[in-house]
Structure 1
Amino acid sequence: MQLVDLSRQSLALQRFIQDQTLCPATFNADICAQDEMYLFALANHGIPERACIRYYFNGRRILDTVHQVLNWNFEDLNRISSFLDFASGYGRFTRFLVQDLPPQKIWISDIYAQAVEFQKEQFGVQGIVSTTYPQDYPIQQSFDCILACSFFSHLPEATFFSWLQKLYSLLSPQGILMFSVHDRLLLPSHLAISPTDILFIPNSESRSLDVNQYGTAYVGETFVANCLNTISKGEAIYSRIPQGICRYQDLYLVTRHPQKPLSSLKFSHNPQGKIEQCELTSEGNLLLKGWVSEINPHSQLEEILVFVNGTLIQNCLLSIHPSETESQWSWSCQVPLGKNSQQSIILIKAINSQGLEWVFETTTVENLIQIYSNLF
């Protein structure tokens, strides 16, 4: 099985891992070369190093979401005896989860047998090869937590219902199911949703799965609520977090016997932003301009930090000012490079008052200038 691991020779990847993982020394950076999530990032970013960082950062953002739910529901992660990451792919999220939960408590499952084997070998977790139809799914045990991230966002109506029924049946009495969907608000304007509040399109980024079984689905809350009510005979309690996964897909939380009201979860999103300009000034400073969005009603942006070779050089907070919307802010700062060379590693990130982060870039100063200097 061919692996992608640039972290051994990429100082930028090493700096990102140092900054964004719980235990950098034990973080497994290996990516399977067949991982469709990595290949999707590579197609978007073009450069393997940047693709790896985006891949890891999306896994980290999913962890930030799952962390909030688990800490709220269980209070102590030691109370979790079993976690199922369903449709887990090649471990974009698992590599972060194993730093929080012992691998013997984690089960992963995917339709690709190679992906299951990869995760078992790399992360020491238990693996279950999934099936096209839920009635053939080869497991009967229950789980305290089940995550199905970006799975139901690809299913037609019949299999959406039957897989939801299957996963719900695998919940322990106090367990919680987390799954994400494309909400109907993401539907392209030229398309119309059905009266049942779902639209399935036989098209997806998967390179090998049957698009009639695994395409792109958009759903409204009415459809999800009706499914949950039917499969549980009115027993299931659910809550919806708009854009709860990476500020894109909606996240649903489902439980039989909530230990506390689902409304008591004060969920926070990561900030999100973009660098729009980067250039060297005549004084030898690095001029950075960009925007950042903070949509949480109960938190605010705390700071934008610039690190060079791991040393904090600049806090850009004072240069932030409101932009065209209440949730989006523009920022700019000049970073004195001093004796640092253009091969120095620069990491730029925003942090909100909940401690959640957005990493704009981690790369060399030279690459940063090349990427952004011609955008204006």
Structure 2
Amino acid sequence: MSNSITSEPTSPDSATHPIEPERSKLARVRQGLRGVLFPSASPVGLTGEGSGKAPNVQALELEMSWLKMQLAQYRKEQGQFEGLEPFVLGTEHVSGIVPPIAGAGVRATVGSPSMAGYLVSGDAWQILISKFLKPNSQVLDIGCGCGKMARNLAYHPHIKKFIGFDVIQDSIDYCNQTLVPRIGSKFEFHCYNVYSECYNPQGTIKASELVFPATDGSIDLAWGCSLFTHLLEPDAKHYLREVRRVLSPSGMFLPTIHINPAPGTRYSGNEVRVDIDIDYFAELAAEAGLSLAVKLGEVCGQYALLFKVAPGAEAPKIVNVNGTKSEAEVAEASKPKTGGVPVPPNEGALTGEMLRLNGLAAEKEGVTPDVHPKDFIFWFVATHPELSLDSATTYYFEDGARSADKLDKELTSLFGEEKKPIKLLEFASGYGCVSRHLKKNPRFDLTSCDIHPEAIDFLTNKIGVKALQSAHTPEKFSTPEKYDAIFALSFFSHMPKATFGRWIKALYNSLNAPGYLLFTTHGIKSIGGLQITAEDIPADGFWFQARSEQHDLDAEEYGLTLSLPNFVIPEVHRVVGSPIANYKQAEWWFHQDLWIVKRER
């Protein structure tokens, strides 16, 4: 007879016959239990001297008893792991040092209801973040959930300050009530009642208006673990701008994304799951002033990227008629301050230092360095109390370039890559802050247009573009040809109600069919800079004040205007009968809204 229990006996007898079924049963039980506890383990057959004898049945029974005990312990731990109460890992002093792990209900709000998923993702992220932590760092966890990373980094020696925020109140309550008493006050957590159709439908704050709880340039490392996998595109753009605002010049940003957008798209999905093309996400980040440093690769099913502050990129600012402010400082704009642009000294004559800096900035952008003495945009930034002359000059040229690039992207999305040239009218172009950059684009057949005769002469002879004289009244405005696109940047942010719609009509009538009118307005994000509150805006959504930063224009004709969608949309329909083709809140300078109207016929 074979010594292996897996072989059939040659001639069963009274000694072996009753044992065989029991051995097989015990072997099957043993294999099943091992499969539960140790899925990769294979059952081991008992072979050798004495196999098949009664003592070995006792050995199998002993092993089965041990496996059953292990299974009971496994089930007990699983019950504790998946319970709603925090999982406590120690007693006495240990309980005050090692924070409990959040219960399954709270963990579920951050996509890790199972203990295994929570621990595995936390371990991977802790190692990844630690790789980029530098001594004495202030860090920002965007969408911190129940503090998974705070817990894992609780005693990391490089962390000076840890700031986390989320939209789920239960998660933040857990952080403040359970984590902070153990790991210390250098960890702070904030809850913002941000609206999310999926995760926080009762929210009262728009994601596109959220201000991160950190001051400008204060964060050394920020991350967004499974954050952009749930943000719609307008909100993602705003979050990227806020990331840039809070990052220090040497700061880094570590987000993850899903990278399989729907065919034919670069950004698709809903709040449950958003997928973004990697290169497109890098483009969005670049618009916010972030430069892609490394494509790190997948971590726990999402693609990780590392960004740094783009060389020479200024922190995002809201530039308006009352000053340059970061989004975190908008609230300060309601304080009394001197508005408008000072009258240029020496009739606008540029100093030698101005000419030198203009030359350097213009050379970098590949445009003419000439600036007209009456260019109020230049003088606005050059005399701004918060900007050095060097920074102001850089801003003037770089901001013009950003506007030109942004317009190019908008027109590409409207016309496609193939349409060349695009007959473009830049209306209310001033003295060429943007025109000099648009001129470089070979796709554009550009004409600039302004009300000032001196601007027309400067645009023609110094900037080198076709220039068209505007008019003080819309009905007297005429063009020698029709245009594929007309762009009016920060013009309707100054028009009184009496001419707002009339100018829409005049410009619309100067379009080819099909053609597009693109214009910006002061929107709800502009109220701080305008020194008003939402309560100051009339019910029809139109607010105007006869106050102008341009001293050579009548403030009654060119003042300060704020117009909300509930005014703009019906006004456009009333005067030209066309719907709004697109609307982007705070698309320009982080506070002016962009409107696009299409002429079909």
Does the alignment reach a TM-score above 0.5? yes
Q: Which deviations, in whole Å up to 9, do the C-alpha atoms of 1:210-258 show, x marking residues without a partner?
A: 111101001110111011111222x334211111112221111111239
Q: Stretches of 4+ moved more than 6 A in 1?
A: none
Shift of 1:106: 1.1
1:248 matched to which residue of 2?
A: 591
1:132 matched to which residue of 2?
A: 472
> Which residue of 192, 202, 210 corresponds with 2:536?
192
What is the rounded CA distance, in whole Å, between the counterparts of 2:353 and 2:432 in structure 1? 17
Cα distance change of structure 1 residues 94 and 222 upon mapping to structure 2, 3 Å threshold: same
1:153 matched to which residue of 2?
A: 493
Cα distance change of structure 1 residues 185 and 194 upon mapping to structure 2, 3 Å threshold: same
SS at match of 1:179: strand
Q: Give TM-score, length-normalised by structure 1.
A: 0.61
Cα distance change of structure 1 residues 102 and 28 upon mapping to structure 2, 3 Å threshold: farther
SS at match of 1:223: helix
Cα distance change of structure 1 residues 175 and 190 upon mapping to structure 2, 3 Å threshold: closer
**Residue 205, structure 1, aligned to residue 545, structure 2:** no
Higher strand share: 1
> Which residue of 89, 102, 109 corresponds with 2:449?
109
Shift of 1:78: 5.0
Cα distance change of structure 1 residues 173 and 38 upon mapping to structure 2, 3 Å threshold: same
Higher helix share: 2
CA RMSD of superposed structures (Å): 2.5
1:97 matched to which residue of 2?
A: 438
SS at match of 2:478: coil
Q: Give TM-score, length-normalised by structure 2.
A: 0.39
Q: How does 1:1-376 map to 2 (within 5 A)?
A: 9-10=356-357, 14=360, 16-17=361-362, 19=364, 21=365, 24=366, 27-45=367-385, 47-76=388-417, 79-101=420-442, 105-139=445-479, 141-187=481-527, 188-189=532-533, 192-233=536-577, 235-257=578-600
2:25 matched to which residue of 1?
A: none
What is the rounded CA distance, in whole Å, between the counterparts of 1:251 and 1:78 in structure 2? 22
Q: Which deviations, in whole Å up to 9, do the C-alpha atoms of 1:16-40 show, x marking residues without a partner?
A: 5555x3xx3xx21111121000010
SS at match of 2:536: coil
What is the rounded CA distance, in whole Å, between the counterparts of 1:33 and 1:160 in structure 2? 29
Cα distance change of structure 1 residues 8 and 42 upon mapping to structure 2, 3 Å threshold: closer
CA contact (8 A) 2:470 2:477 kept: yes
CA contact (8 A) 1:237 1:257 kept: no
Q: Tell me the amino acid that sits aligned with residue 107 of structure 1.
A: T
Cα distance change of structure 1 residues 255 and 210 upon mapping to structure 2, 3 Å threshold: same
Q: Tell me the amino acid that sits aligned with residue 206 of structure 1.
A: Q
CA contact (8 A) 2:424 2:446 kept: yes
Shift of 1:175: 1.1
CA contact (8 A) 2:404 2:437 kept: yes
Cα distance change of structure 1 residues 8 and 217 upon mapping to structure 2, 3 Å threshold: closer
1:315 matched to which residue of 2?
A: none
Q: Tell me the amino acid that sits aligned with residue 253 of structure 1.
A: I
Cα distance change of structure 1 residues 4 and 152 upon mapping to structure 2, 3 Å threshold: farther
Shift of 1:128: 1.3
Shift of 1:156: 0.7
Percent of aligned positions with the same letter in both sequences?
26
CA contact (8 A) 1:4 1:32 kept: no
Q: Tell me the amino acid that sits aligned with residue 450 of structure 2.
A: D
Cα distance change of structure 1 residues 171 and 6 upon mapping to structure 2, 3 Å threshold: farther
CA contact (8 A) 1:6 1:13 kept: no
Shift of 1:48: 3.6
What is the rounded CA distance, in whole Å, between the counterparts of 1:82 and 1:190 in structure 2? 39
Cα distance change of structure 1 residues 58 and 52 upon mapping to structure 2, 3 Å threshold: same
What is the rounded CA distance, in whole Å, between the counterparts of 1:43 and 1:88 in structure 2? 21
What is the rounded CA distance, in whole Å, between the counterparts of 1:3 and 1:77 in structure 2? 42
Structure 2: runs of 5 or more not aligned: 1-347
SS at match of 1:154: coil
Shift of 1:186: 2.3
Q: Which has the higher contact order (CA 8 A, sep 6+)?
A: 1
Rg larger in structure: 2
CA contact (8 A) 1:6 1:49 kept: no
SS at match of 1:147: strand
CA contact (8 A) 1:13 1:53 kept: no
Q: Tell me the amino acid that sits aligned with residue 252 of structure 1.
A: W
SS at match of 1:82: strand
What is the rounded CA distance, in whole Å, between the counterparts of 2:412 and 2:520 in structure 1? 19
Cα distance change of structure 1 residues 170 and 3 upon mapping to structure 2, 3 Å threshold: farther
